Amino acid sequence: MKLAKYSIGVDYGTLSGRAVLVEVGSGKEVATAVKEYTHGVMDEFLPNGTTKLEDDWALQHPNDYLEVLQTTIPAILKESGVSADDVIGLGIDFTACTVLPIQVDGTPLCMTEEFADHPHSYVKLWKHHAAQDEANRLNEIAEQRGEEFLKRYGGKISSEWMIPKIWQILNEAPEIYEAADNIVEATDWVISQLTGEIKRNSCTAGYKAIWHKQDGYPAKDFFKALDPRLENVVEEKLSNKIFSIGSKAGEITEKAAKLTGLNPGTAVAVANVDAHVSLPAVGITEPGKLLMIMGTSTCHVLLGEEEKVVPGMCGVVEDGVIPGYMGYEAGQSCVGDHFEWFIENCVPEGYFTEAKERGVNIHELLTEKANKLQVGESGLLALDWWNGNRSTLVDADLTGVLIGATLLTKPEEIYRALIEATAYGTRMIVEAFRDNGVPVDEVFACGGIAEKNTLMMQIYADVLNTEIKISASSQTPALGSAMFGAVAAGTERGGYDNITEAAKEMGRVKEETYLPVSDNAKVYEQLFAEYEKLYDYFGRGENNVMKTLKNIKKAQGLATLDVEAKPVF
């Protein structure tokens, strides 16, 4: 009898990290453990409690990532009773672009005494949008110079990505830029803590750092055109050595073994991104199948056979998702965050009381009430830009809109309108792919929202007028990471030679799917037509009121700070 072998996947999200122990071959999830980040998302103050952060900042503490490994991996081994001897591999995935400056020995600058109170020394989370000015300038210069790489990213580089964030550090804290021996993706940093060596992965390099498998990074003279101090940024802070996803990064060191409880020598996969690693977990290994990874934000990932230019996409990267194919990415910056904002700020106390009396959470109550509404009954229409627009406008300075509200508008009507807005945003992305020669024949979804919110998934099926298949795993990214861990181990240790083989055996979706309701789809056609008009009106320069309001807010905020700073006699 052949003894079972196991692989571990660790999924680093926005608020917590989770580890899943998976049986190689069957894909069975044996045990799961979650660790919330001790410092969470720092968007107001540093850990010292006194250093205030400006608007659009979102930081994390790298030690939180190590605590995830230290807590969750021993927990799943203990819960399952599985011996570390039977764990053949480990893979991780991360939000992106999430970056940090480090010393040559791997120590994050924020974990040094010198820079512990300096905001720019910390991890800049994916939703850190304070580098928008740098992104705007980068796009302007790249367009003026006719840089070819812009086409691969839909015409714009996002403020969420590596180069704008590095440039912000250089502009606002040159001392941090100078002190950093490397600026790395958090996912690559965590792998280095496990294996003792930094190996930058092809996924984040390609999608978030303007790297191309054939062409490499943009030329030095482009970086010099941005800022003379950036001319040698690749050689000084990044690296031309990029390692393909699906390959082995190294093995667990003695130090990492003590941290995790795994055996030294356990195979570790090259790091990955939470969205991209999810495709094989639902069995996608071929073109035409779009996966929505739905959480605080949504990422849309799709395989293609040719490199096409799709305006507003986040990127197209050769071998970026599955070796042998072009991997396309688009996304929405505000989905789960959208609904959480509404719950925290706009729902009356009576609703919370009712939810408590009925023994349901507030989201369940609002979903139930929203589900009783007919399509279009609320008279509301929203733009889903509460956290900017990632695709197809690539503009973090855009903000939310709600139209049609009256004195009779109820919370559940707004809640439904916000759900519908995210569905319309996804449809804009799907149509952009199709209009530019990238087929979307099937739609899949994964993540907590896809698994739990039946109303939302039905709305998406109706708005897209397409069947939606749901991942069978409640931990899709972690399962995908575990699969890559099994590939890193290879067949000689009981794993796989490539991710396609792993996906055939371990990837799966639920039997039940969401089918569009014809009558609903017809009404949503009308509503989507109006959404498109608002999308273009506010998003393509005809009305820049959102940016004007942001500028006024910023100016008034600075004026307030100035007044507070002046002594009163």
Q: What would the mean pLDDT of 268-283 be, rounded to a whole number? A: 95
Q: How far apart are the first and last CA of the chain?
A: 85
Neighbours of 362 (CB within 10 A): 19
Is it the case that residue 296 has pLDDT exceeding 90?
A: no
Secondary structure of residue 100 in the 3-state scheme: strand
Q: Determine the pLDDT at residue 366.
A: 98
At 449, which helix (H) or strand (E)?
A: helix 448-452
Tokens of 40: 């969470």
Q: What would the mean pLDDT of 471-497 be, rounded to a whole number? A: 96
Per-residue model confidence as pLDDT tens digits over 385-439: 999 999 999 898 999 999 999 999 999 999 999 999 999 999 999 999 999 999 9
- For 86-95, 116-125, 389-398, which range has the lowest pLDDT when averaged over its residues? 389-398
- What letter would DSSP give residue 283? T
CB 413 within 8 A of CB 407: no
Cα separation, 264 vs 251, in Å, equals 7
| Residue 36: φ, ψ to 5° | -70, 145
Neighbours of 57 (CB within 10 A): 21
Cα separation, 399 vs 384, in Å, equals 8
Q: What is the pTM of this model?
A: 0.85
Per-residue model confidence as pLDDT tens digits over 128-177: 999 999 999 999 999 999 999 999 998 889 999 999 999 999 999 999 99
Cα separation, 372 vs 203, in Å, equals 42
Confidence band for 1, pLDDT divided at 50, 70 and 90: very low
User: In angstroms, what is the C-alpha Rg of the chain?
Assistant: 23
pLDDT, the chain, mean: 95
| Residue 439: φ, ψ to 5° | -65, 140
CB 495 within 8 A of CB 488: yes
Integer CA distances (angstroms), 152 to 277, 309, 310, 319, in order: 21, 6, 8, 14
In the chain, the amino acid numbered 567 is: P
In the chain, the amino acid numbered 81 is: G
| Residue 224: φ, ψ to 5° | -65, -35
Tokens of 345: 């700020």
